[in-house]
Chain A
């Protein structure tokens, strides 16, 4: 069966510090991968998605970036965190079938607090 892992579960960082959040998927090949940020009362904001190694689509211009160095690994990064980067970050995957009639499968999320 497929599983998705996200870490860390919680993170407290000072303003201006770098960030690296990691997401890995097991039990499938060539998944589509997604990073979302969730703010209270505002639903899920799609940040990045990837349909293959090295292929990243950015949805929102900001000081975050994403990379996909391996087929089942998706990393969210920042060089300098802002207060506005606080939130709950979720990674998700879908089968890379070329059709999006499949539901997304989510990790347990990372709670990021910027001080």
Chain B
């Protein structure tokens, strides 16, 4: 069965510092992976996706993620944090073998310190 683990429910970084949000997946076959961002009282917005093309994926707002099969990881990074990046971030995986379900991690709340 698919599963997603996000290490660190809360992460704080200083403005201008590197952002690193961790995501590990468990899957018997290479999955499709997604990162979403959620601002308070809003739905989730797609940041980027991995669907078996390039392992380094660039997304919106300067974020990128690298798929590492050997580590079963898909960590999200941004070189320089902005105050506007403060939000909750979710990693998700879908099953490439045919079900229509998506499995989400429990989320990481990012705080950006001035």
Write the residues of chain A forming the contact surface with B, with a CB cutoff of 8 angstroms. Answer: 6, 32, 34, 41-44, 46, 49, 51, 57, 59, 88, 90, 92, 94, 100-101, 103-109, 111
Contact = CB atoms under 8 A, between A and B. Distances in A.
Interface stretch (B61-69, B79-87, B100-108): B100-108
9 contacts: A43-B90, A43-B106, A100-B95, A104-B44, A104-B92, A106-B44, A108-B42, A108-B43, A109-B42
B100 A100 contact: yes
Given A100-B96, A103-B34, A42 B106 contact: yes
Interface of B: 9, 32, 34, 36, 41-46, 49, 51-52, 90, 92, 94-96, 99-102, 104-107
A32 B99 CA distance: 11
B94 A106 contact: no
B73 to A, nearest CB: 18
Given A32-B100, A43-B107, A101 B45 contact: no
A109 B43 contact: yes
A101 B32 contact: yes
B95 to A, nearest CB: 7
Given A41-B106, A42-B106, A101-B94, A49 B100 contact: yes
A32 B9 CA distance: 30
A35 B43 CA distance: 12
A41 B88 CA distance: 10
Nearest to B105: A43
A109 B34 CA distance: 20
A28 to B, nearest CB: 15
